[in-house]
Amino acid sequence: DNIPFEFYCNLPPAWHHYVLNLFNQIFQDEKLPHRWSEIDMKILFKKGNKLDHLNYRGISLLNSILKIFTTIICNRLSRWAEEKLIIPEEQSGFRSNRSCQDNLFVLSSVIATQLIKKKPLFGIFIDLKRAFDSVPHFLLWEKLLQLGVSSKIVKLIKNLYDNAVFRVSVNQEVSNNVKIAEGVLQGEPLSPLLFNLFLSDIVHFFKSKRVSSFKIGDARIFLLCYADDIIVLADSITDVNEKLSILQEYCSMNLLQVNCSKTKIINFTNNNRRKKLKAVKFNNEIIDLDNNVTYLGVPFSYNGKFFQASKFFIAKGKTAASVVKNILIKTRADSCDSRRTLLNSIINSTLLYAGEIWASRYTDSVETVQLQFMKNIYLWPRNTPNSFVRLECGIEPLKISIFKRMVSLLIKILEHEPTRFTYNCLQCLISLDNSGCNKPELNWISILKSMFIAIGSENIFLSLDPGTLRLHFNSLVEKYKNKFLCEDIEYVLNSKYNILYRHISALGMQENYLYHRTNIKKIRLLSQIRVANLKRAGILFNNEKFIFDSGERCGLCGGWDSLTHCLVECPIFDGVRKDLISAYMQSSLNQTEIFCNLFTLKTTSQIETLFKFVVKILKYRKLLTFP
């Protein structure tokens, strides 16, 4: 209808009543206007062969007023389904107060629990072929009525689907209307809930076959769903085959298909030398037994550790950082705030996705992404110490962000109902942590506990009270920040890499010169000198590298050819110093004090003056030492 939602949001009160009366009339008559069932579809090419229709994604555009109406129905139906426990605990997709995080935590906890106890575990990661697009309508109406959904609501939804047609728009040409014969409507607010209700009987179906399950706390877990992403857990290869047979029966009854080429099985074990298992088949198709699988965006490995996940997310983070760097170059962004904002965005959206689950053991590796980003932005050498980079840029170690995420997740789970899988998994991990057979490197709660111990807050952790943790959250984060800030400062104070940096750094306070709105070339050049290795400094300017080696003799005056010698001591450049930086060279100061006075950058004018000075020194040095 090409009417934006803002139009409806800003209608006068009288029109609100008109729309309300219209909705009530539709609800009473159990019929929707035919035009509401018409869908425009735009086709977007993904990748691959352009002649293959499978390489295109359809984007459905529905009438805004239909979405408003079905959102009201969806909200009512969702509340009813939650109150009546219609959707099983195993399903986390498209439910309020649930997310991918819940299933990721449950799966990782079950894996850790079984490996710590040295018990067998197999995971079958099911890929349903076109799950949302292949739901049979007649079965959907039948299931909704069996679940107890009001016949009036079922008739309304059926009326929408009976009249549903779509037309494809390509290059300003429009196809004829095509009838939608199966599947839930894409882009329509009710569709995710309808799919959940359609699939809600899968748990009962498996239980009716008396399948084995894993006792985690007070819960029994054998299956996890996030919408159409299904995991079936088994305790042996025989159990795998039995559960696949049950799944095959369920899919046959509900006209669903399993994509065997994308379905994977993992044998989770501590043993690197695993037994060769017999091939597993589903509908006479072989299903691969793999060592790694990606579930809800996170790679899981057979040994329960997240080393592969860390490599995956670090690679994604570095790719995103490279894209951001190119954006900064093209837009000539000269704001430190914009650089920091973009860095934080790539960290949160790519690098630390679900980091509270997997990142705790790989913080040092993860940290390289933001450090490398900053080094690339300012042209600092790769061997610039991490502590120097963090203090100069005023950035926190990613350990702090991971700690915050983990504590937030702990608080969230402690507030869950005792029937939730997440709560029972947490209690099981706590029990293992207190036992004599724990493996801390696999136990999420043991790793988090060690973080609390590191800042002397074990008593707060041991309370395991969400109120107490929430009350002390900010102070815990501050303690964690101070711990790593102190470590960075101590490193700088004892470092022989650059013994002058401790005198020119704010040591954790913001380095204001980075925030001055001036050409990034100037900031880069001066910052390179600030964090340079004084024994052998390499300064990059205008694609040329200038080397200053304190172990070599100056080719101009015969003194030791260090960076500080060239800038504040070499007599050849006395005239340049007198012309440009005499204000910073009081006679009472020694050479070290002059250097520190110069590079404790405070004002934009100082940055401009010092940049001109350094550029002249580099040009004259190149000219005078040219072979």
Task: Say how far apart CA 623 and CA 627 lie, in whole Å.
Answer: 9
* C-alpha distances out from residue 326 to 352, 447, 537, Å: 21, 37, 27
| Residue 82 pLDDT greater than 90, yes or no | yes
Which pLDDT score is estimated for 626? 58
**Mean pLDDT over residues 29-48, rounded?**
87
C-alpha 424, offset from chain centre: 25
Task: Say how far apart CA 517 and CA 335 lie, in whole Å.
Answer: 6
The pairing of strands 536-541 and 544-549 is antiparallel
Q: What percent of the chain has pLDDT above 70?
A: 99
Q: What percent of the chain has pLDDT above 90?
A: 76
Task: Count Cβ atoms below 10 Å from residue 573 Cβ, excluding itself.
Answer: 20
**Mean pLDDT over residues 44-50, rounded?**
83
Per-residue model confidence as pLDDT tens digits over 603-615: 999 999 999 999 9
The amino acid at residue 555 is G
| Residue 69 pLDDT greater than 80, yes or no | yes
**Mean pLDDT over residues 465-482, rounded?**
97
Which pLDDT score is estimated for 61? 85
283 within 8 A of 289, measured Cβ to Cβ: no
Which pLDDT score is estimated for 627? 54
Task: Say how far apart CA 459 and CA 456 lie, in whole Å.
Answer: 8
Confidence at 49, pLDDT banded by 50, 70, 90? confident
| Residue 347 pLDDT greater than 80, yes or no | yes
Per-residue model confidence as pLDDT tens digits over 496-544: 999 999 999 999 877 889 988 888 899 999 999 999 999 999 999 999 9
Taking Cα atoms as reference points, which of 519, 313, 471, 299 lies closest to residue 402?
A: 313
* C-alpha distances out from residue 6 to 2, 9, 10, Å: 12, 5, 6
Which pLDDT score is estimated for 276? 78
pTM for this model (two decimals): 0.91
- Domain ranges within the chain, ordered by starting residue: 5-301, 307-402+478-494, 518-624
Per-residue model confidence as pLDDT tens digits over 185-233: 988 999 999 999 999 999 999 999 999 999 999 999 999 999 999 999 9
**Mean pLDDT over residues 174-180, rounded?**
85
- Average pLDDT value for the chain: 92
Which pLDDT score is estimated for 506? 92
Per-residue model confidence as pLDDT tens digits over 137-150: 999 999 999 999 99
Confidence at 550, pLDDT banded by 50, 70, 90? very high
Which pLDDT score is estimated for 509? 78
Task: Say how far apart CA 339 and CA 517 lie, in whole Å.
Answer: 12
Which pLDDT score is estimated for 87? 96
* C-alpha distances out from residue 418 to 141, 173, 415, 427, 507, Å: 33, 56, 9, 10, 46
Per-residue model confidence as pLDDT tens digits over 559-569: 999 999 999 99
**Mean pLDDT over residues 262-271, rounded?**
93
